[in-house]
């Protein structure tokens, strides 16, 4: 059975798309999508041999070798340009997702939808999308087994589109001016209509930041003071948003 997280990602994949799932591990997502009839075919990319072999076994056991091709290689390098319409990259850090997209940008020709699920560093992914011609079309947040996940869906910007500058422009939320930096961090859609799990995520992030601050309080390193004031600013910025929206 698919996890709630993968199920939510699966829901975002356009019907009939040719899919590439990069960092597919056991190829659970493409297997599910092909079995459901959502996608006719898929590529499961894996950089590591162990997971690639597990994916291969999974595909063979499901009798889907005709529809799902497991390819061993780094990021989008396993694809030919124009081969797929949708790409999923899930379950890794935002910095890694952005670096995979960046390194393989030429392979995204013909891709119209990206479905990305960073475990951390969502802001890095949003920044990459914003500056590479992708419109952030939706955000989902969910909790499973005590972990909170965000799923970002992006569609390719058309030449006539104005870009996402408007989406990330400073805005007033319940009387509070929210900056582009906060929107990149906390999510321009999520912040507008935050579900309870979003508050839970940011309360947890505040706890983590407070812990780092306590560690800095004990540190004697030269730039501890500078780091501390940056951290203080971030903590108050997040607190202010939470207090204002509650």
Residues that bind ligand SAM (CB under 6 A): 6, 22-25, 45-48, 51, 74-75, 90-92, 96, 100
Per 3-state DSSP, what percentage of the chain is helix, strand, and coil (rounded to 5)?
45, 20, 35
Min dist CB 37 to ligand SAM, Å, is 21
Min dist CB 75 to ligand SAM, Å, is 4
Closer of 74 and 85 to ligand SAM (Cβ): 74
Round to whole Å and give the CA distance between 44 and 150. Answer: 22
Min dist CB 187 to ligand SAM, Å, is 19
The answer to whether residues 216 and 224 touch, using CB atoms and an 8 Å cutoff, is yes
Please give the structure tokens belonging to residue 57: 């076994």
Round to whole Å and give the CA distance between 62 and 218. Answer: 55
Structure-token match 């929210």, residue found: 178
Q: Provide the 3-class DSSP secondary structure of residue 116.
A: strand
Min dist CB 48 to ligand SAM, Å, is 4
Closer of 21 and 164 to ligand SAM (Cβ): 21
Closer of 79 and 245 to ligand SAM (Cβ): 79
Closer of 45 and 188 to ligand SAM (Cβ): 45
Min dist CB 121 to ligand SAM, Å, is 14
Residue 33 CA: distances (Å) to CA of 8, 13, 39, 215: 12, 8, 6, 45
Q: Provide the 3-class DSSP secondary structure of residue 103.
A: helix
Closer of 44 and 186 to ligand SAM (Cβ): 44
């Amino acid at each position: 059975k698919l996890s709630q997280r993968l199920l939510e990602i699966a829901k975002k994949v356009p019907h009939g798309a040719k899919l590439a799932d990069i960092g597919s591990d056991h190829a659970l997502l493409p297997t599910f999508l092909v079995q459901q009839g959502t996608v006719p075919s898929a590529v499961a990319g894996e950089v590591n041999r162990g997971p690639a072999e597990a994916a291969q076994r999974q595909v063979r056991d499901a009798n889907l070798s005709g529809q799902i091709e497991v390819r061993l290689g780094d990021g989008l390098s396993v694809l030919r340009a124009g081969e797929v319409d949708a790409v999923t990259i899930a379950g890794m850090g935002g910095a890694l997702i952005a670096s995979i997209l960046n390194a393989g940008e030429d392979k995204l020709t013909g891709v119209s939808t990206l479905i990305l699920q960073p475990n951390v560093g969502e802001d890095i992914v949003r920044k990459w999308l914003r500056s590479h011609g992708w419109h952030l079309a939706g955000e989902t947040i969910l909790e499973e087994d005590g972990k909170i996940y965000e799923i970002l869906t992006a569609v390719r910007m058309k030449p006539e589109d104005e870009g996402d500058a408007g989406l990330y422009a400073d805005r007033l939320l319940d009387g509070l001016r929210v900056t582009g930096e906060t929107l990149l961090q906390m999510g321009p859609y999520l912040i507008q209509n935050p579900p309870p799990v979003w508050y839970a995520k940011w309360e947890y992030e505040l706890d983590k930041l407070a812990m780092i601050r306590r560690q800095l309080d004990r540190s004697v390193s030269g730039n501890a003071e500078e780091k501390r004031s940056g951290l203080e600013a971030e903590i108050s910025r997040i607190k202010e948003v939470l207090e204002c929206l509650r």
